[in-house]
Amino acid sequence: MNKSGLSDWVLFFCFAAAVLTMPLWLAPFGANYPDLMQKFAIFGVFAIGFNILFGLTGYLSFGHAAFLGAGSYAAIWSYKALTMNVLPAIIFAVIVAGIFALLIGFVSLRRSGIYFSILTLAFAQMSYNLAYSVLTPITNGETGLQLTLSDPRVLDAMAGVAVTSSLPNPNIFGIKTSGLPGFYFCAVVLIIGFFIALRITRSPFGMMLKAIKSNQTRMAYTGFNTRPYLLWAFVISGMYAGLAGGLMAVTDPLAGAERMQWTASGEVVLMTILGGAGTLVGPVIGAALIKYFENIFSAFNKFELQQVFSFLPEGIQDVVVSVVSMFVGKGWHLTLGLIFMIVVIFLPGGIMEGVRRIARVFGLGKKKITEPASVANSQQGQVNG
């Protein structure tokens, strides 16, 4: 086993351990409840997939939420029509999102740069409007697609699953996938997704994608047709998004059109850039950070702030509470915006760049397992050797 291969394995096992032990180490942050950890894992999958396109090829898609939404709808329809088992739902979600990505990618990839971004944005917005008002028999519009007691569930009926007077739960061979088991399911999927992304990044295919990012024209001159590579990257990343959408339906059987909105597409771009585009772990960290802000910071209210600052004298407490309350509660977007600005200005490579810089200060630069650093190291090694 060569050195970079081994460091990949170390990276992979560290990642897996960190994901699986989330319920323990997230406790001090007040984030160790199942729903939020599920969100970390699901949006981690979404961001990892997005990074295969954006991080490797440099093609910035502003429409990935369309695939997320398509995956969710596909999964719910699998529940409604076939069975409450989550495996068919997820497979169905990935396939539908993949086909969807193939269609959109085929058209959008005729252009590059800003034109590509605008095309994907336009397609996503079209999908959103279709889901929102045109295709309401399939999507149930703004209200969102939900399970009902009268769904056929053909496979379940054939298997003789008893129909009860309450709605059935999504399950994996009888184990409910809500709550903590749901988190572990998502975590395992995230780890598998991470492994596949790692292999893709290290493969010759991944090298092609990186070459496209560095200079597509030169690629073309050397005789490569870049279009198929790009299309595959687009489809794979769309399938990741569909997988994330399917997982959302696994933990919560409901799909709404707002999952396709441009803000959702923008969110995954923010996650990737915040964490570090082109790195393997960065997008997952970015996703977790944004979801943490959305769920924890937005929940602070004046009442809680007053308790936190109750040690201060009366007058000062009021001032501090009123200033701080601008940044929490409904003001959480403001905090996130500030952090995003700080990261982009001072750490253009995202949080992972910050991690690398800190590691370098402590003389750990060589051992650092982040992706570009290790690539740089191994290249250096080859030159020196």
By the rule CB under 8 A, 327 interacts with other proteins: no
By the rule CB under 8 A, 295 interacts with other proteins: yes
By the rule CB under 8 A, 259 interacts with other proteins: yes
CB of 146 to other proteins, least distance (A): 6
Match 């500030």 to its residue by tokens. Answer: 338
Query: What six digits make up the tokens of 30?
Result: 């007040």
Among 144, 266, 354, 365, binds other proteins (CB under 8 A): 144
d(Cα 270, Cα 10) in Å, to the nearest integer?
27
CA-only gyration radius of the chain, Å? 22
| Piece of 105-113, 255-263, 276-284, 350-358 that binds other proteins (CB under 8 A) | 255-263
Contact code string over 343-382 relative to other proteins, x by CB under 8 A? -----------------------xx-------------x-
Phi, psi angles (nearest 5°) of residue 209: -60, -40
Contacts of other proteins in 9-48 (CB under 8 A) = 9-10, 13, 16-17, 20-24, 30, 33-36, 39
By the rule CB under 8 A, 299 interacts with other proteins: yes
Among 256, 276, 283, 349, binds other proteins (CB under 8 A): 256
CB of 365 to other proteins, least distance (A): 12
∠ CA 330-334-338, nearest 5°, is 155
By the rule CB under 8 A, 306 interacts with other proteins: no
Match 């997008």 to its residue by tokens. Answer: 283
Kindly list the distances between the CA atom of residue 175 and the CA atoms of 160, 169, 211, 214, in Å, as whole numbers in the listed order.
Answer: 17, 9, 45, 47
Contacts of other proteins in 171-190 (CB under 8 A) = 178-181, 184
CB of 363 to other proteins, least distance (A): 13
Distance between the two ends of the chain, CA-based, in angstroms?
18
CB of 340 to other proteins, least distance (A): 18
* Cβ-based nearer residue to other proteins, 34 or 58: 34
Binding footprint of other proteins on the chain (CB under 8 A): 2-3, 6-7, 9-10, 13, 16-17, 20-24, 30, 33-36, 39, 132-133, 141-144, 146, 149-150, 164-167, 169, 178-181, 184, 252, 254, 256, 258-259, 294-295, 298-299, 301, 303, 329-330, 366-367, 381, 384-385
